[in-house]
Structure 1
Amino acid sequence: MRIVFLLLCGVTFLYAQELFTKQTLENYLTQENPFIYKTKAREYIYREQIKYFQGAFDTKLLLKYDKKRYPVTDGDFMEINIQTPLENGIEFLGGYREATGLQEYNNIKTGENGEFRLGVNLPVSALINGMNSRKLNLYSARLNTQQQSYRSKDNLRLLRFEIFSAYYKTLYSQALYKTEKELLEVAQKRKSIIEKRVKSGALAEITLLEANQHIINREQRLITAKNSFQNALELFLQYLPITREAFERHYTLPPLPEVIQNSFTEERAFALALEHRADLKVFSFETKRMDMEQQHTRLLKYPNFNVSLYGVHDLKYNNGFKLSFDMSFPFQRRAYEGRSKEILKKIEQVNNNRNIKVITIKTQIAQTLHSLKNIFTNIQNSKKEVTLVEKLQQAETKKYLLGLSNLFMVNQRELVTLQTKKKLLGYILEYLLLQEQLRKEIGNTL
């Protein structure tokens, strides 16, 4: 007998359904979930863009070969170089070249065995300013990745509200369905009693017809409630990597949780929002990018001045060098002035957008807290109302059993009780959604 008992316990354990709580839900919100992956997909793309812009600093092998046989002139040119750019703009060049005959595009000529060359190019303006185009592109890509990381967190914040709202709406639909089911069961039990009393002649047959009409009406209401529950469940399960069949096999939904009075003050909630809201942090990266672009724009304010120095060792004619200076400077500087003012306006726009966002967050927090307070009061009053209508329903039922009332009045009392319970459930759902709204405004993520 003991072995049989243990086997039965084991079977019961295998087929027992787990309560699907909020913690259970969060266990499904992993990177394997397509909805979670979607919030971070662009971040992964931006990370790869960093590698692309790092490629601007890759060491390159440069090859060139010319063979010319014109009617009057001829020449040969062959060059192999390795070029290495640094982040600060300096470029190093080293290689070998051989030039014989008359060159078409340069005056280079080497011994028959060629020459080795080693040089450096110094962008003086960029070095002094601390910024160049390749560095700007790379740093912007890094900022974009960091910025997108916070956008991903903000996407998670919004997705969390969406998912848990669907979860609570499903629990609410389930509660409505169970309430309608209980109302139908009461009518069915009463019908069986009425049938016996009609057969005994204690009640008229019309009473049985009225009881059947009540049952048909409640069956219709139950079907409507069941349809709403099934649709809410399907909408919720789309966020989980699990089929409905598997969900119903392994889990059962809990009732709507009891609400706890909110303890957040407006000041505390707003301070937390300023600290945790990822979408507010995004603005700082916008400003940093504008600052970098402004630093790069300053190159247009001064002469573009480059210095190049190359040393050569000809295998036949020994050593030599080449020093070159390259400078350009626009007198009007309209490019600098226009671009600089454009960036300043963009910075003003970013700061203004952030200020608007902060004002909006503060307003939404205040509205949510006011609503939470008022809905909680409605919940307390609604609970009292449910107790009162249940007592009135019980009293009407007793009057009916004593022959002092009729089935119509009992049905009306039951429907009033049903509507009052639905109203309470609606307040509870609204309160739970407002709590999630507050968490969303504060900036809590998954």
Structure 2
Amino acid sequence: MMTNQVALLVFLLLPAALYAKVQTLVLDDVLSAAEKSFPALLATEQRRMVTEGDYISAQGAFDTVVKSQNRWSVIGLYENQNYDVSVEQPTPYWGTTFFGGWRRGTGDYPIYDGKNITATDGELRAGVNVPLWRNREIDRRRAGLKQAELAQLIAGHDVDQALLDIRRQAAYRYWDWVLAGQRLLIAEHLLKIAEERNSGILERVAAGDIPQFEALDNQRAIIERQERRVAAQRMLEQSAIQLSLYWRDEKGEPQMPTTEQLPKDFPKEPVVDADYHKAWVHAQTQRPELKRLDVQAKQTETELELQKNQQAPAVDLSVVGSVDNGKGKSGLNRDELYVGLNFDFPLQQRAAKGKAQAAAANLQRLKWETNLAENRIAADIKDALSRLAASRQRLSLIKEQQKTAEELENGERERFDLGASNILFVNMRELATGDAAIMAIEASSNLFKAHADYLAALGTHTVVK
């Protein structure tokens, strides 16, 4: 009595988790884990971080620049001191640059350097430089910033592409694992049948109802089916190892799925709209490679626009004003205002023309690559729809074949019980049924893999529930 009470107490104190049902591993779980921790995807994410850094660097072209120049004449006919601090601020507005500064010159200067002399508190100056032709609509700073911004979009599309590829691969590995689990169940079922009838066969042999070699043949069948089970077990372990690369724990480490987590069967067939035109229109807006090529074309167009602009003459308007503070030696007011017009025009223009030609060629190359990508996407959609249709037809035919094989197996087993057949034929019928069952689960696996291909062809992340 005391023993029973102790056992009951231990049972009640055991953690409830030990009795919790092991949760079935579904495809969504694998995909979610892969999206969070798969190394290849994380590496692609880092490339996006690189482009963010490049964008910040491109913004640096508009950073405020402070310069300081100081000069002291310590030996010579004229001893003087010069201090000069300037600030320059480029802007994205028509290439305009603002600048200003302060300088102070003291000491003795020759007559021809008289402009270096300032009042006691130095000279304040401010000005602006405005491009009137070249660098007005676009310049290297603005082009670099725009291209860096577009590079961020390209990196985002690369992440989307990696995500699509990983989801597709993870789905393949998941359905391989489910297939291997179903294959093991079939192998164990066939072995169980042969083992369960062994005692009955031995009794019939002892009674002289059937010859001894029937028992020997059944032993051979048991050994053969044991070998099949070992092969199926190995296939399940291999597929679990491959699946663990995508199904990762909270730390991002691969985790092995257990046999208890296998689903009992394949889910219902996925519903797919077989309209090719709708699928093609959807893929045009979703496939990352098309988006990436489009953005790359915009980058190249920006470069082409820049190089065409660089072939124009550089005509810059500059306005500079300065004010002296304090008292000067001469006592004169030296406030000044300058208006300048600067001109720069390389005659051959080979640098800009060559770069423009290269940009135009790259733009045409991207158009051809886009055309090829569209052809491949169209082919992907057609192939995925064809594979889905063929997989469904094949699965339907195999199920009919499986049903017929089961009827023949049951009939052959009845004939054996009546003494009208032998173990050889019974074993052949059972194996035929088992092979038909394996073909059925392989067809189911191929159907869901075809669905994964279809989703990848569309460029969508929708998953099978």
TM-score using structure 1 length: 0.90
Establish whether residue 154 from structure 1 lines up as the match of residue 161 from structure 2. yes
Change (3 A) 1:96 1:262: closer
Q: 1:94 corresponds to which residue?
A: 100
Q: Is the 8 Å Cα contact of residues 16 and 250 (structure 1) preserved in structure 2?
A: no
Letter in 2 for 1:82: V
Q: Give the whole-Å Cα distance in 2 for the aligned partners of 1:435 and 1:149.
A: 25
The answer as to 2:337 corresponding to 1:329 is no
Partner Cα distance (2:445, 2:150) in 1: 41
1:204-243 equivalence runs, <5 A: 204-242=211-249
Q: CA deviation at 1:325?
A: 3.1
CA distance in 2 between counterparts of 1:47 and 1:298 reads 28
- Unaligned runs of at least 5 residues, structure 2: 1-7, 328-332
User: Which residue is equivalent to 2:127?
Assistant: 119
Picking from 171, 178, 183, the partner of 1:176 is: 183
Cα deviation for residue 131 of structure 1 reads 0.7
Contact map agreement 1:64 1:80 (CA 8 A) in 2: yes
Residue 185 in structure 1 maps to residue 185 in structure 2 = no
Residue type of the alignment partner of 1:76 = Q
Give 2:398's match in structure 1, choosing from 377, 382, 403: 382
Within 1, Cα distance between the matches of 2:342 and 2:304? 24
Moved more, 253-262 or 283-292: 253-262
Residue 105 of structure 1 and its aligned partner are, at CA, apart by: 10
What is aligned with 2:312? Answer: 302
SS of aligned partner of 1:152:
helix
1:55 to 35, 54, 60: 60
State the partner residue of 2:4: none
CA RMSD of aligned residues (A): 2.8
Report the secondary structure of 2:197's partner residue: helix
Q: Percent identity at matched positions?
A: 20
CA contact (8 A) 2:240 2:256 kept: no
Deviation at 1:230, TM superposition (A): 0.8
Residue 398 (structure 1) aligns with:
414
- DSSP-derived class of the 1:310 partner: strand
* Structure 1 equivalent of residue 336 of structure 2: 320
Matched residues in 1 for 2:262 and 2:273: separation?
31
Could you list the per-position Cα deviations for residues 91-116 of structure 1 after superposition, in whole angstroms to 9, with x for gaps in the alignment?
Answer: 22222111234499996332343211
Deviation at 1:394, TM superposition (A): 0.9
Q: Secondary structure at the match of 1:125?
A: coil
Q: Distance in 2 between matches of 1:40 and 1:260?
A: 31
Deviation at 1:379, TM superposition (A): 1.1
SS of the equivalent of 2:269 reads coil
**Counterpart of 1:174 in 2: which secondary structure?**
helix
Question: Could you tell me how far apart the structure 1 residues matched to 2:283 and 2:135 are?
Answer: 41
Q: 1:14 to 1:34 in 2, by over 3 A?
A: farther
Contact 1:21–1:254, Cα closer than 8 Å, also in 2 = no
* 1:18 corresponding residue in structure 2: 23
Alignment partner of 2:340: what SS? strand
**Alpha-carbon shift at residue 185 of structure 1 (Å):** 0.9
User: CA-to-partner distance for each residue in 1:194-252, whole Å, 9 max, x for gaps?
Assistant: 23334455444433332222211111111111111111111111112236777439844
Match of 1:283 in 2: 293
Contact 1:68 1:74 in 2 (8 A): yes
- Give distance in 2, aligned partners of 1:59 and 1:347: 34
* Displacement after TM superposition at 1:30 (Å): 4.3
Q: In 1, are the aligned partners of 2:29 and 2:247 still within 8 Å (CA)? A: no
Cα distance, 1:15 vs structure 2: 2.1
- Shift in Å at residue 49 of structure 1? 1.7
In structure 1, C-alpha distance between the alignment counterparts of 2:335 and 2:351, rounded to whole Å = 43
Task: Determine the C-alpha separation between the residues in 2 that align with 1:288 and 1:105.
Answer: 52
1:342-381 matches, within 5 Å, as 342-381=358-397
In structure 2, the CA distance between the partners of 1:209 and 1:245, relative to structure 1 (3 Å rule), is: farther
